[in-house]
Amino acid sequence: MKNPYLPVPMRIERVVVETEDNNVKTFSLSFLNKEDEGSFTYTPGQFAELSALGKGEAPFGMASSPTQPWCLEFTVNKAGVVTTALHNMEVGGILGVRGPLGNGYPIEALKGRDIVMIGGGFGFSTLRALTNFVLDDANRRSFGDITVIYGARSPGLLLYKDELEEWQKRTDFHLYLTVDVGDEEWTGRVGVVPKVTREVGPSSENAYVVICGPPVMTKFTLPVIKELGFPPDRTLLSLEMRMKCGVGMCGRCNIGSKYVCRDGPVFKLAELNQLPQEY
Ligand SMILES: Cc1cc2nc3c(=O)[nH]c(=O)nc-3n(C[C@H](O)[C@H](O)[C@H](O)COP(=O)(O)OP(=O)(O)OC[C@H]3O[C@@H](n4cnc5c(N)ncnc54)[C@H](O)[C@@H]3O)c2cc1C
Ligand code: FES
C-alpha cells in the first residue's frame, strides 16, 4: 500500500505569473517517475500537499483537469513560508507532491444536471478544473446547462486569462466574468460576485451550485443562492481549513466530527448546516 505521508518528486515544466501583482503563479508539473504518474488518479476538487525542500508543505487544489493528463497544475497565491518558497522556484526545479487527497466534486451526482459554478480569488482554480472536465468532448453530453460566474477584484487579478478568452468563444456554456472595480480597458461586467449571481439568476430547477472562493464572497453569495431556490443538498462548498497531515490522522482540520482533509474539502451545505460554524 502507498505510504500517504510520502511525497513523490515532480519537475516544474512551466510557470505562469497569473496576476499583475505577481502574487499568483500557476505551476505545471511532470512526474519524475512513470509509476507515480500511473497511481495519481484524481477528480476535480481534490487537493495535494506540495512541499518545497527544507521549508515544509501546504495543501493546494488541483487546477488542472484529469482530462488533460499531460500535466498537473497548481495555482499558488503567495501567502507565507511554503508559498514564497514555491514562488522562488523556477522551471526545472523539483518539488514533492503528496496526494491526491480529499473527496473532490461528486461527478456522478452532477451527471444529468445543470451546473452553476461560482468562484473568486485563487479558489477559482478547482472550478477551472471542473469546468475543463465537464467541457471535455468525452464528458460534455453527460451534463446539462453549464454556467460559470467568476469574479476578481480587478481585471489584472483575473486568473487563466488566455483560457478565459478561449472559453468566451465557446457556445456550449455560459460564462460571466466580473470585476469589483474596472479599468480603462475593461469593457465587461463590474460588480461583486453575489450581485452578478442575482442578476444572472440561474435556474435552480435541475441544478447543482458549486461555490469556491474567499469566505466573504461565499458569505454574501449563499443568501442569493437560497433566494434562487437551490436546496442545501444541491449546494456544494469547498472549504480551506488549516491542515497538517491531509489524511484524517492529526485532528488539525476538524469541524465537529468531520475532517475537512478526509471528508472534504467539498461539502454539501446540508452537511455543513449540521456542524458547528467553525469554517
Ligand atoms: C484544501 C485546500 C486547498 C487549497 N488550495 C489552494 C490553492 O489552490 N492555491 C493557494 O494559493 N492556496 C490554497 N490553499 C491555501 C494554502 O494551503 C495556504 O495559503 C498555505 O497553507 C499557506 O502556506 P504558507 O506556508 O505559504 O503560509 P504560512 O506561512 O503558513 O502562513 C501565512 C499566513 O497565512 C495564514 N494561513 C495559512 N494557511 C491558512 C488557511 N488555510 N486559512 C487561513 N489562513 C491561513 C497564516 O496564519 C499566516 O498569516 C488551500 C488550502 C486548503 C486547505
Ligand atoms: S489535516 Fe490532519 S486530520 Fe485533517
Which CATH number describes the domain made up of 8-101?
2.40.30.10
Write out the three cell numbers for 148: 460559470
Which CATH number describes the domain made up of 107-238?
3.40.50.80
Do 92 and 253 touch, CB atoms closer than 8 A? no
Give me the residue spans of the domains in the chain: 8-101, 107-238
- Work out which ligand 1 atom sits closest to the CA atom of 261: 1
Q: What is the pLDDT of residues 56-82, one digit of tens each?
A: 999 999 999 999 877 899 999 999 999
Residues having CB closer than 6 A to ligand 1 are 47, 58-61, 75-77, 79-83, 122, 125, 240-243, 265
- By DSSP bridging, strand 114-120 and strand 146-152 are parallel
**Residue-level pLDDT at 138:** 96
Low-confidence ranges of the chain (pLDDT < 50): none
The number of C-alpha atoms within 13 Å of 266 and in the hemisphere containing its C-beta is 25
Our mutation pick for probing the ligand 2 site, out of 249, 258, 267, counting the most ligand atoms within 8 A of Cβ, is: 249
Our mutation pick for probing the ligand 1 site, out of 60, 254, 279, counting the most ligand atoms within 8 A of Cβ, is: 60
Say how far apart CA 73 and CA 44 lie, in whole Å. Answer: 12
Instruction: Report yes or no on whether pTM surpasses 0.75.
Output: yes
**Residue-level pLDDT at 269:** 96
Q: What is the pLDDT of residues 73-114, one digit of tens each?
A: 999 999 999 999 999 999 999 999 999 999 999 999 999 999
**CA nearest neighbour of 271 among 227, 239, 226, 225:** 239
